[in-house]
């Protein structure tokens, strides 16, 4: 059945319609990623409502195309104007921009396209090869464990976010709180605050995502100077071949960075911003000439770009398996899945369910990376145009598309209010280092966590011991997950206390 699903996925992928959406997604992604200040979650959030009239498979393929393309696109502004188009390309600036100043912009951009494509191809292939094992694992996980996995995803936020754990947990709790408005899905009970009919279906989480990623980002962009290329950057065609060859000469860096991206990407909340720096730091650490980094070392660009595209595959694992977003972009992707009636979880791996679509999505990403390579290399000399678009044109258009797209979701005026409220909240949350991804995780995981909690409570007649007493309920995995959650939340404090105790 799994093989049949795979073959069916190939057939679905090879249709003209799918390929057109994939190509469109990648190109839109490259453009969105290349525009300073925009990025994958924003691009995907704006496009999300526009996919409403589309078929589910086409919509998801368009979204993953945007996701993948914008990961590469982010390097364009990083290399040409020393401003990362997306935060996941920040490390690309360190060596990409010096290369550009040395007149090697084409080489840097070609390295970026090649490393992104190879890393993407490698990690997606690995994911497809490991998918039978992953399928078994996901299908073996029961309701109590799915609740605990959701909580584990939230607990990880305290690990991967900088700053106080209380801020991360507050953001997560507030996100979960948002999902408690409206009819409680698992129990179909009314939860309308102030008895508002407009809140009957709750707060639309796609509108929340649009507010957090589009409106908040535009507010941020409106307060920033620069980001626009002042003069012409010379992009010499001759450097393209050099860039491809240079990347191919560093297979170890590419594969190591891709793996870092894959692993870090699977950690909820970490995302490409973290993997990008981890891979870059590792490249510096393992280099024979670490001092050359920061002044135009090609290996720095390879490491950074290979890792952020590797993250795409990694972040899809928890997203599709358990509905836990590995990054902001996968949160929007989950929004897309839910909007089109697809529920992340076991059904996405069930041969009689949506396994074919899951395979189509992975194969689309595989082909998408080839598209990145072709489009990226063939457009290298023209990419500088993207960096000359003034944010004064971008901001109103993004706001307009956000408003119209949000209203199109359900025709509910509350959604318009939602994007403004959460846009302002998101802006200040980021400003004061409250994890937006924790908030998003809460919003995305609310229904999943509550639904599974409710079912688990039914299984145990209302006893929380189902999570920690394997002798009575036979759920050892629940116990392991519970211990992991406790370790994640309290481990750092115990470690601190132990170190202080030792030094005293």
Partner 1 sequence: MDQEHTALDAVSQRIRPVLATIADGGEKVLGERPTMEHVLLVLFLITGVYMYLGASEFAPAAQRFPQLMAGATVVFSVLLLARNYLTVVGPLAGALLGGYFAYVGGSAFVDTGDGLFYLISGVVLFVVAIVFRERFGAAVESFVAEPVQVMGGDDSQPKQTDEDADTTLEEEPESDADSTEERTADTSESKTDEEAESEDEGSAAMYVYEIDDPRGPIVTGALCTVYMLLTFSIGMLYATPIFVALWTLWVRMDVLKAVAMVVLSFMISQAFYDFVERDVARGWLTGWQPPTPADLLSVSPHTNLFPHAIELLQWGVLLG
Which range touches partner 1 (CB under 8 A), out of 5-13, 55-63, 306-314, 415-423? 415-423
Interface positions, 194-223, toward partner 1 (CB under 8 A): 194, 215, 218-223
Nearer to partner 1, 16 or 189 (CB): 189
Cβ atoms of 467 and 456 within 8 Å: the answer is yes
Interface positions, 85-104, toward partner 1 (CB under 8 A): 87, 90
- Burial code (b: 16+ CB inside 10 Å, e: under 16) for 148-184 equals bbbbbbbbbbbbbbeeebebbbbbbebbbebbebbeb
Nearer to partner 1, 476 or 497 (CB): 497
Shortest spacing between CB 168 and partner 1, in angstroms: 9
Angle at 44 between CA 115 and CA 371, to 5 degrees: 35
Count of CA atoms in the C-beta half-sphere (13 A) of 114: 25
Structure-derived torsion over alpha carbons of residues 151, 157, 159, 161, reported in degrees to the nearest 10: -170
Interface positions, 366-405, toward partner 1 (CB under 8 A): 391-393, 395-397, 399-401, 403-404
Which 3 state secondary structure label does DSSP give 35?
coil
Interface positions, 46-65, toward partner 1 (CB under 8 A): 52-53
Interface positions, 146-185, toward partner 1 (CB under 8 A): 158-167, 169-170, 173-174, 176-177, 180, 184
Interface positions, 308-347, toward partner 1 (CB under 8 A): none
Nearer to partner 1, 243 or 318 (CB): 318
Shortest spacing between CB 145 and partner 1, in angstroms: 19
Shortest spacing between CB 331 and partner 1, in angstroms: 14
Interacting residue with partner 1 among 1, 189, 238, 504 (CB under 8 A): 189
> Which residues does 445 contact at the CB level (< 8 Å), separation at least 6?
150, 153, 154, 175, 176, 323, 324
Largest CA distance in the chain: 71
Locus of tokens 């078929």: 55
Instruction: Tell me how far CA of residue 203 lies from CA of 44, 74, 170, 219, 439, in angstroms.
Output: 19, 31, 19, 22, 14
> Does residue number 486 form part of the binding site for partner 1 (CB under 8 A)?
no
> Does residue number 458 form part of the binding site for partner 1 (CB under 8 A)?
no
Interacting residue with partner 1 among 359, 427, 467, 473 (CB under 8 A): 427
> Does residue number 462 form part of the binding site for partner 1 (CB under 8 A)?
yes
> Does residue number 278 form part of the binding site for partner 1 (CB under 8 A)?
yes
> Does residue number 231 form part of the binding site for partner 1 (CB under 8 A)?
no
Shortest spacing between CB 424 and partner 1, in angstroms: 6
Query: Phi, psi (5° rounding) for residue 184?
Result: -70, 115
Q: How many residues in the shown chain lie near partner 1 by CB under 8 A?
A: 83
Shortest spacing between CB 462 and partner 1, in angstroms: 7
The two tokens of residue 428 are: 């200040």
> Does residue number 424 form part of the binding site for partner 1 (CB under 8 A)?
yes
> Does residue number 235 form part of the binding site for partner 1 (CB under 8 A)?
no
How far is Cα 125 from Cα 366, in angstroms, rounded to an integer? 7
Shortest spacing between CB 123 and partner 1, in angstroms: 19
> Does residue number 428 form part of the binding site for partner 1 (CB under 8 A)?
yes
Cβ atoms of 78 and 97 within 8 Å: the answer is yes
Query: Phi, psi (5° rounding) for residue 414?
Result: -60, -30
Shortest spacing between CB 103 and partner 1, in angstroms: 29
- What does R_g of the chain's alpha carbons equal in angstroms? 22
């Amino acid at each position: 059945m799994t093989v049949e699903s795979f073959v069916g996925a190939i057939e679905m992928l090879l249709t003209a319609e799918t390929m057109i959406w994939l190509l469109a997604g990648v190109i839109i992604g490259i453009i969105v990623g290349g525009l300073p200040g925009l990025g994958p979650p924003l691009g995907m959030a704006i496009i999300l409502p526009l996919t409403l009239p589309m078929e589910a498979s086409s919509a998801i393929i368009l979204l993953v195309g945007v996701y993948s393309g914008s990961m590469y696109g982010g390097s364009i502004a990083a290399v040409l104007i020393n401003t990362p188009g997306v935060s996941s390309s920040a490390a690309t600036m360190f060596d990409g921009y010096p290369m550009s100043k040395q007149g090697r912009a084409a080489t840097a951009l070609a390295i970026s396209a090649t490393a992104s494509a190879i890393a993407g191809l490698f990690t997606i292939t690995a994911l497809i090869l490991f998918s039978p094992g992953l399928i078994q694992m996901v299908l073996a996980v029961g309701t109590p464990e799915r609740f605990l996995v959701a909580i584990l995803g939230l607990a990880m936020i305290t690990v991967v976010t900088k700053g106080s754990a209380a801020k991360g947990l507050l953001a997560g709790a507030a996100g979960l709180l948002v999902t408690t408005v409206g009819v409680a899905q698992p129990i179909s009970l009314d939860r309308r605050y102030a008895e508002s009919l407009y809140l009957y279906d709750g707060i639309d989480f796609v509108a929340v995502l649009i507010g957090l990623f589009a409106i908040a980002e535009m507010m941020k962009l409106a307060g920033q100077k620069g980001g626009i290329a002042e003069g012409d950057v010379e992009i010499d065609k001759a450097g393209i071949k050099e860039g491809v060859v240079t990347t191919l000469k560093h297979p170890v860096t590419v594969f190591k960075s891709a793996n870092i991206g894959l692993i870090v990407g699977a950690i909820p909340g970490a995302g490409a911003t973290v993997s990008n720096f981890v891979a870059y730091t590792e490249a510096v650490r393992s280099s024979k000439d670490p001092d050359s980094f920061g002044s135009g070392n090609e290996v720095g660009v390879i490491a950074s770009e290979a890792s952020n595209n590797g993250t795409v595959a990694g972040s899809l694992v928890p997203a599709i398996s358990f509905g836990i977003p590995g990054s902001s972009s996968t949160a929007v992707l989950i929004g897309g899945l839910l909007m089109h009636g697809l529920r992340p979880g076991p059904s996405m791996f069930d041969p009689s369910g949506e396994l074919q679509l899951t395979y189509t999505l992975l194969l689309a990403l595989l082909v998408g990376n080839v598209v990145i390579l072709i489009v990226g290399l063939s457009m290298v000399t023209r990419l500088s145009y993207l960096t000359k678009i003034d944010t004064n044109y971008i901001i109103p258009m993004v706001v307009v598309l956000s408003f119209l797209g949000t209203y199109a979701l359900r025709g509910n005026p509350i959604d318009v209010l939602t994007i403004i409220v959460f846009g302002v909240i998101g802006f200040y949350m980021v400003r004061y280092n409250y994890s937006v991804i924790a908030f998003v995780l809460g919003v995305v995981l609310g229904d999943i966590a509550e639904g599974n909690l409710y079912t688990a409570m039914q299984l145990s007649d209302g006893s929380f011991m189902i999570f920690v007493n394997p002798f009575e309920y036979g759920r050892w995995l629940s116990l392991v997950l519970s211990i992991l959650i406790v370790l994640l939340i309290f481990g750092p404090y115990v470690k601190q206390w132990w170190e202080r105790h030792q030094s005293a």
